[in-house]
Amino acid sequence: MTTVCALCLKVPRGKAESTRKKLLELGLLDIGRRIRCEGDVVLIPTLSRQAEELGYELADEDLESRELIETDYRNVAEVPDDVRERLPTSFDVIGDVAIVRLEDDLVDHADKVGEAFMRTFPRLRTVALDQGVKGEFRVRDLKVIAGDPSTETIHQEYGIRLKVDPAREYFNPRLANERRRIASLVKDGEKVVDMFAGVGPFSIMIAKHANPAVVYAMDINHDAVEHMKENIRLNKVTTVVPLEGDAVELLSGIVCADRIIMNLPHSAREYFADALTKLNMGGTIHLYIICERDEIDKIAVDLSIEARGMGVRICLDRIEELKTYSPTMSVFALDIRLLDWC
């Protein structure tokens, strides 16, 4: 290993990790050099004397060079430069399966893109091209472009494990933080309904990290429900009740719930009234929708008007843009609380 003289920040051991993160956030961490400990002091390599503004002494010290690993698949893709410039920077990883979407005129380069992913991220088993959605259940239309032909995988987030096949079931890995947030809101003894549960990520997260009385997890997709049952066993949760069938019909058999999750962004809005009729006073609906960004305020008003037409008042405790869906559309999360009769 080569040793070189490098500019370092001398930081007390107890402050080293927070300082390293701050340097990384500021773009001042020299990732080409290894951090070194000297007793109670940690030498953190930095790119600029500006790092001194964090309040620690700067020094020139001998540090080992770090072999840098390429982390941008675009740099290793064997494609023309004009194509490389247009390759997407964002993609989904579900377990050990990467899913990438390409513009129509770049699809001919899909095999090269798949190879680049496999070389850049050795832990990947499969790379698939996202060709949009298909079928009644709006699952991704996937074409494997590198690696193992199977898209079934085990996905992990916040201490839970989920068996999922994104080619057969709807699953959004980008909602992990949102799922954990919802679990943190669930109070002891709540009755929860997950109307469009898929393989169970919301339901199992809640059962694992909260103490609900029961979580009714519904889905009309047989494959998703079968995987959900496996995931219930895999995570050893006992309060999730898997139900297969149409959510509205299944909802009619449930007395009332304290919390209802409606994660079907393209069409959950259509079922709002059905959910509201099954919500306990003071309860909350978590509604996820895809819409034009400039329409979300109108949708919020429309929901309040619809609720008043049903004889109740609601309060929108939270409206948050979770992720971009297209240049003009986004996925929004709405926390809707049932206040009172009117």
CA distance 116 to 327: 27
Domain boundaries, the chain: 3-64, 73-151, 164-341
The single residue listed with the structure tokens 């690696």 is: 147
Instruction: Please say if the pLDDT value at position 147 is more than 70.
Output: yes
Q: Identify the sign of the CA torsion 214, 217, 218, 222.
A: negative
User: pTM to 2 decimals?
Assistant: 0.81
The single residue listed with the structure tokens 């095999």 is: 111
Q: What is the DSSP letter of 220?
A: S
Q: Report helix, strand or coil for 339.
A: strand
Res. 26 pLDDT band, cuts 50 70 90 = confident
CATH topology of domain 73-151: GMP Synthetase; Chain A, domain 3 (3.30.300)
pLDDT mean over 242-261: 97
Choice between 251 and 22, residue whose per-residue pLDDT is larger: 251
- pLDDT value, residue 76: 93
CA distance 64 to 49: 20
Residues contacting residue 94 through CB under 8 Å, at least 6 positions apart: 153, 155, 164, 166, 171, 173
Residues contacting residue 31 through CB under 8 Å, at least 6 positions apart: 66, 68
- pLDDT value, residue 210: 98
Kindly report, residue by residue over 183-237, the tens digit of the pLDDT. 999 999 999 999 999 999 999 999 999 999 999 999 999 999 999 999 999 999 9
Instruction: Please say if the pLDDT value at position 255 is more than 80.
Output: yes
Kindly report, residue by residue over 213-228, the tens digit of the pLDDT. 999 999 999 999 999 9
Q: Is CATH 3.30.1490.190 the right assignment for the domain spanning 3-64? A: no
How many residues make up the chain in this entry?
342
Q: What is the DSSP letter of 168?
A: T
Beta bridge partners, 45, equal: 8
CATH class as words, domain 164-341:
alpha beta
